[in-house]
Structure 1
Amino acid sequence: MRNPLKLKAPASALAASLALLAACQSTETKQETTAATAPTETSKADTAAAKKYLSEPLVKEIYTADPSAHVFNNKIYIYPSHDIEAGIPENDKGDHFAMNDYHILSMDSVGGKITDHGVALAVKDIPWAGRQLWAPDAAFKNGTYYLYFPVKDKQDVFRIGVATSKSPAGPFEAEATPMAGSFSIDPAVFQDTDGQAYMYFGGLWGGQLQRWQKGAYDANAPEKEPNGAVPALNARVGKLSGDMKHFDGPVREIQILDEAGKPLLASDTKRRFFEGGWLHKYQGKYYFSYSTGDTHLLVYATSDKPTGPFTYQGVIMEPVQGWTTHHSIIEKNGKWYIFYHDTQLSGKTWLRNIKVTELKRRADGGIETIVP
């Protein structure tokens, strides 16, 4: 979060400010405590400070992040990560993001009451899983709901699994093995108007995408992506089979191009893909949006096809408070919304809270930049 500007004031203004500060310091605030693993209730002073945020956390009883939102049965269901305090030091591999389970949330409409449906899937319920249940997504087809999740296997390699349920709120039962041909993190499933479903996935650094450049996992590859004047590593896309549990054909890398039709470079860190891909369709155009990671932007590119190539268009959201940024975009009752997260409740980058705000477009279909 940016530091506030330091401005010089005349003596009279300074005296008034000191008087106001003294009055504020004498104001009593009430603190309410909850369980050690849950966020604290905001005090009166905190409520005033919270006005600097565009929107408020949707859930305060638990920490939530990476919200994948969908409209099922005319209700909004949110599939977020469930952040916990694991006591693990921060590092670039993301070991401190040590999530153990998923809670599914729902609401009838944006601004409505949130329901927490409890634990829908946990690491212990996944036969092949080792640790770290990161950002999931969901889909529906032929009476079945599918939950797609990245988790490290017992060799500490991220794979993507799938679990099924007859209810959008779960609980979900995981398949015995990960999806063949899957790797890395952040699965996002888009179903086109013709019924065909596609999965987009991948994430750099802790997401291990840089370790798959040779077609197989390379434990000796660098911890971070290539840099300099070389093409950036991009998300992967694969068509899903009719049963929604397998890839129908090979997984391939997406192309993201600049305005001249050339691939974005690894050095172009304010535009290149890092993680958190999402696809939505608007007026016949396919919008692939994603996080730039270490430059903390949400950006987007468009194409006439769901598999690209995509041409970079601009910034959707400026940096949030906290290191990570991750989102989803849905339409409900004729309006478009973006779900995202920040660290308003905790101030800690690994203990996040999900939010939502309206997504607005220009007449040409371009997305207006949001300042969170």
Structure 2
Amino acid sequence: MNLKSSTSLIALSTASILLLSSCGKQEKAEETETVEETKSSFLSAPLISHIYTADPSAHVFNGKIYIYPSHDVASVVEEDDSGAHFNMRDYHVFSMETIDSEPVDHGVALDVDDVPWAKRQMWAPDAAEKDGKYYLYFPAKDHDDIFRLGVAVGDNPEGPFEAQPEPIKGSYSIDPAVFQDGNNYYIYWGGIWGGQLQKWRTGEYLSTGDSPYADEPADDEPAISPMVAKLSDNMLEFGESPKKIEILDQDGMPILAGDHERRFFEAAWVHQYGGKYYFSYSTGDTHNIAYAIGDSPYGPFTYQGVILKPVQGWTNHHSIVEVAGKWYIFYHDTELSGDTHLRNVKMTELTHNSDGTIQTIEPILE
């Protein structure tokens, strides 16, 4: 894409050197690829380089692009499959005047110390606007180490945001994403393994030990469903009982838990195109951003294919937004650090085909 991939070799080299210096990563310089190799290996260059960012939720508010990412930090927590080493504690908001602009960092919009109920791990957020107020939705572990969803309110899209004193009643797991459809707002969420969604299969939290896999269904059973609920009028609570989302194959059968190439893992996102609802998500351990299409924001959604193939790094988490008549996907990889938990946000153009399907994107070039 010409937005960032056309950045000159000299500019990219300078940015890389500055990043290594500012983040205390000089010792990794000899381990990383050369600038020339990096330029030829990645479809897009990082949008933000002075801090590590991931899980970008992008929106257009008041004619300007806003990005709500998580903020990766170095962690002394040992890496494991529950994601404990993703130990983020605050959120920065970034804005872009146009799709070609450099993102502006508006500083810390919300810190874990400002959330009375939260203990740690401020993971992927999202934002919404209603009647001139802005709402930041975020997951965090409470003081019992159970993920809940919180909401904070601000007068401006860049924050600062003031958190509600309690999490959303009845909420659990991670990765909230809000979709506006007319006057209705829907919140989607869920993530398995470290996101704990599998521990809520009975409607109550199951504590079956430290293994993130313990409560998964058998491979020949339907995969664990992400969740959806219409938000209340004040945007602070679920306005209805949460519902499970069905992701079906082309024969109308549920995607199975053993189908790791297609089953939902985390990172729900919904956009609308051509009168249809597109539910996209990460497949987790197979590293795809996949999508399914339906006729209702509640689903069911029929699996269509892969939007974004695997990036460098274990995770991926995306958002899809229309800007000035074109569509873009925001995502992350680990180009700047090479470390799984120190990621950087990227962006590239997304194309819907004439039949409504989406062209698959290769984020790493041969």
TM-score normalized by the length of structure 1: 0.89
Larger Rg: 1
Unaligned residue ranges in structure 1 (runs of 5+): 1-29
Q: What is the Cα deviation at residue 35 of structure 1?
A: 3.2
Runs (4+) of structure 1 exceeding 6 A deviation are 38-45
Q: Which residue of 2 aligns with 1:23?
A: none
CA RMSD of aligned residues (A): 1.8
Task: Name the CA distance, whole Å, in 1 between partners of 2:33 and 2:163.
Answer: 45
- Separation of aligned partners in 1, 2:45 and 2:77: 27
Greater CA drift, 41-50 or 270-279:
41-50
* Residue equivalent to 1:158: 147
> Matched residue of 1:133: which SS?
coil
Matches within 5 A, 1:61-210: 61-192=50-181, 194-210=182-198
SS at match of 2:198: helix
1:292 matches 2:283: yes
SS where residue 320 of structure 2 aligns?
Answer: strand
Residues 105-139 of structure 1 show CA distances to partners (whole Å, capped at 9, x for unaligned) of 11012221210000000100000001000000000
Aligned counterpart, 2:37: 49
The number of equivalent residue pairs is 342
Query: What is the 5 A alignment of 1:204-353?
Result: 204-220=192-208, 223-224=212-213, 225-353=216-344
* Within-5 A mapping of 1:347-366: 347-366=338-357
Change (3 A) 1:41 1:70: farther
1:34 counterpart SS class:
helix
Report the 3-state secondary structure (helix = DSSP H, G, I; strand = E; otherwise coil) of the residue aligned with 1:232. coil
- In the alignment, is the contact (CA less than 8 A) between 1:38 and 1:63 conserved in 2? no
CA distance, structure 1, for counterparts of residue 161 and residue 190 of structure 2:
23
CA contact (8 A) 1:39 1:346 kept: no
Helix, strand or coil at the partner of 2:22: coil
Alignment of 1:12-51 (within 5 A): 31-32=17-18, 33-36=20-23, 46-51=34-39
1:66·1:341 contact (CA, 8 Å) conserved in 2? yes
CA–CA distance in structure 2, aligned partners of residues 320 and 144 of structure 1: 35
Aligned-partner SS, 2:38: helix
CA deviation after TM superposition for structure 1 residue 170, in Å: 0.4
**Residue number in structure 1 paired with 2:6:** none
Higher relative contact order (CA 8 A, sep 6+): 2
Following TM superposition, by how much is the alpha carbon of 1:143 offset from its aligned partner in structure 2, in angstroms? 1.1
Distance 2:110 2:116 in 1: 12
Q: Partner of 1:234: helix, strand, or coil? A: coil
What is the TM-score when the length of structure 2 is the normalising length? 0.90
**Is the CA contact 2:293–2:304 (under 8 Å) kept in the aligned structure 1?**
yes
1:37 positional shift: 5.7
Q: CA–CA distance in 2 between the matches of 1:362 and 1:199? A: 27
Matched residue type, 2:58: A
Percent identical: 57
Shift of 1:234: 1.3
